[in-house]
């Protein structure tokens, strides 16, 4: 009994001592504070339309996330609402497919993209007239074509010869299950980025970025970026079309592999302009990114890829 009493007394003293020793110490802060980037943004994946898009004015529910989006009501509304988002989120430059449609509205903001539905002669003429700054988006998978298809060789050669960057669309192509209703010629295997390797290797000076970062082919994308330092990616559609955890896992994979300096923000807003803000928030909410890494993704990497002048960069960062 005497021994038991001593043991109990010792435990009591120990507990009291622990309580007293921590009484005056501040509580540990366990909550991770995520710092949001608020500087200038370059969006490398925007769409303009010359004709009515069938999704204008309609509701779309994303089957992967359950979120509902409402399409702009008209061509004019789409442009107005997109530019409103540019102002709201300090987007200072945007690569716009069919960009000539919007270029007159703001020639310093809009980067003119033209796709491969144009003939080579037409694209050359546009380039001479200052109406071709990026060849993109190039999206032959909607016609069931692989990047190695012979019909595409002349477009890669054009990008290489004119020193015009090419924006190449990889997977995902269209909405989930799109091959069964909207794009019957698309197939998932068409999105494998390593199909581009010989094309890139034979044109080492060609500047190229892979749209959507070729999700879900993370390992292939890492291999391509490892082998070819000139390859960049954008985050279009995957930054809002995927569940956030899946997007973060994919983005983390690229960053942790060492490619954080070649990832560029892109929204791929199509007809749903609110996805611009959603995409920005998805990157900002990534707790594994430092504020410097976010700045690289949102601005610095694209500024380098586009070869912006120091004067232009300074101007953007002073806004």
Sign of torsion, CA 299 210 157 138? negative
Phi, psi of 69 (to 5 degrees): -125, 150
Question: Which has more confidence, 7 or 98?
Answer: 98
Which phi-psi region, left, alpha or beta, contains residue 66 (left: φ > 0; alpha: ψ -120 to 50)? left
Least confident of 7-16, 48-57, 150-159, 227-236: 7-16
What are 83-120's pLDDT values in tens digits? 999 999 999 999 999 999 999 999 999 999 999 999 99
Does 1 reside within a domain?
A: no
Q: Name the pTM for this structure.
A: 0.89
| Domain extent for 200 | 37-317
Say how far apart CA 55 and CA 205 lie, in whole Å.
38
Does 150 reside within a domain?
A: yes
Question: Which has more confidence, 219 or 19?
Answer: 219
pLDDT of residue 18 exceeding 90, the answer is no
Does 160 reside within a domain?
A: yes
Phi, psi of 42 (to 5 degrees): -110, 120
pLDDT of residue 21 exceeding 80, the answer is no
pLDDT of residue 7 exceeding 90, the answer is no
According to the model, what pLDDT value does residue 192 have? Answer: 95
pLDDT of residue 10 exceeding 80, the answer is no
What are 144-170's pLDDT values in tens digits? 999 999 999 999 999 999 999 999 999
Phi, psi of 23 (to 5 degrees): -60, -40
According to the model, what pLDDT value does residue 33 have? Answer: 86
What are 178-188's pLDDT values in tens digits? 999 999 999 99
According to the model, what pLDDT value does residue 13 have? Answer: 43
| Number of other residues whose CB lies within 10 A of the CB of residue 215 | 22
Does 234 reside within a domain?
A: yes
pLDDT grade for 173, boundaries at 50, 70 and 90: confident
pLDDT of residue 306 exceeding 60, the answer is yes
According to the model, what pLDDT value does residue 269 have? Answer: 97
According to the model, what pLDDT value does residue 28 have? Answer: 47
According to the model, what pLDDT value does residue 3 have? Answer: 45
Say how far apart CA 254 and CA 294 lie, in whole Å.
13
Does 215 reside within a domain?
A: yes
At 211, list the tokens: 């749209």
Secondary structure in 3-state letters for the chain:
CHHHHHHHHHHHHHHHHHHHHHHCCCCCCCCCCCCCCCCCEEEEEEECCCCCCCCCCCEEECCCCCCEEECCCCHHHHHHHHHHHHHHCCEEEEEEECCHHHHCCCCCCEEEEECCCCCHHHHHHHHHCCCCCEEEEECHHHHCCCCCCHHHHHHHHHHHHHCCCEEEECCCCCCCCHHHCCCCCCCHHHHCHHHHHHHHHCCCCCCEEEEHHHCCCHHHHHHHHHHCCCEEEECCCHHHHCCHHHHHHHHHHHHHHHHHHHEECCCCCCCCCHHHHHHHHHHHCCCCCCHHHHHHHHHHHHHHHCCCCHHHHHHHHCC
pLDDT of residue 210 exceeding 70, the answer is yes
According to the model, what pLDDT value does residue 240 have? Answer: 98
HSE, CB side, 13 Å, CA atoms: give it for residue 13: 6
According to the model, what pLDDT value does residue 267 have? Answer: 98
Query: Per the structure, how many domains does the chain have?
Result: 1
Does 8 reside within a domain?
A: no
pLDDT grade for 31, boundaries at 50, 70 and 90: low
According to the model, what pLDDT value does residue 32 have? Answer: 65
Does 176 reside within a domain?
A: yes
Say how far apart CA 177 and CA 299 lie, in whole Å.
33
Please report, for the domain that includes residue 313, its CATH number. Answer: 3.20.20.140
Say how far apart CA 299 and CA 295 lie, in whole Å.
6
As a whole number, mean pLDDT of residues 38-61 equals 96
According to the model, what pLDDT value does residue 234 have? Answer: 98
What are 52-69's pLDDT values in tens digits? 999 999 999 999 999 999
According to the model, what pLDDT value does residue 319 have? Answer: 83
Does 146 reside within a domain?
A: yes
């Amino acid at each position: 009994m005497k021994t038991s009493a001593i043991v109990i007394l010792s435990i009591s003293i120990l507990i009291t001592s622990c309580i007293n020793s921590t009484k005056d110490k501040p509580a540990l802060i366990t909550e991770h504070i995520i710092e949001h980037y608020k500087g200038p943004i370059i969006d490398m994946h925007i769409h303009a339309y010359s004709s009515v898009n069938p999704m204008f004015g309609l509701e779309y529910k994303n089957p992967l996330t359950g979120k509902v989006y409402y399409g702009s009501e008209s061509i004019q509304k789409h442009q107005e609402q997109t530019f409103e988002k540019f102002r709201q989120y300090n987007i200072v430059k945007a690569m716009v497919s069919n960009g000539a449609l919007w270029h007159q509205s703001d020639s310093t903001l809009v980067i003119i993209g033209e796709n491969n539905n144009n003939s080579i002669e037409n694209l050359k003429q546009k380039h001479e007239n200052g109406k071709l700054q990026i060849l993109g988006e190039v999206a032959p998978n909607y016609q069931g074509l692989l990047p190695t298809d012979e019909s595409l060789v002349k477009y890669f050669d054009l990008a290489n010869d004119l020193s015009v960057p090419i924006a190449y669309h990889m997977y995902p192509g269209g909405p989930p299950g799109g091959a069964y209703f909207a794009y019957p010629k698309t197939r998932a295997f068409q999105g494998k980025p390593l199909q581009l390797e010989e094309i890139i290797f034979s044109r080492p000076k060609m500047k190229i970025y892979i749209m959507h970062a070729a999700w879900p082919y993370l390992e292939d994308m890492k291999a391509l970026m490892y082998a070819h330092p000139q390859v960049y990616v954008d985050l279009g559609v995957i930054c809002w079309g995927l569940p956030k955890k899946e997007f973060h896992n994919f983005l983390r994979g690229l960053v942790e592999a060492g490619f954080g300096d070649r990832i560029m923000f892109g929204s791929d807003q199509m007809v749903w302009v609110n996805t611009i803000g959603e995409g920005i928030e998805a990157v900002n909410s990534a707790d594994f990114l430092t504020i410097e890494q976010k700045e690289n993704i949102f601005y610095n990497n694209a500024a380098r890829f586009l070869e912006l002048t120091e004067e232009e960069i300074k101007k953007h960062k002073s806004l």
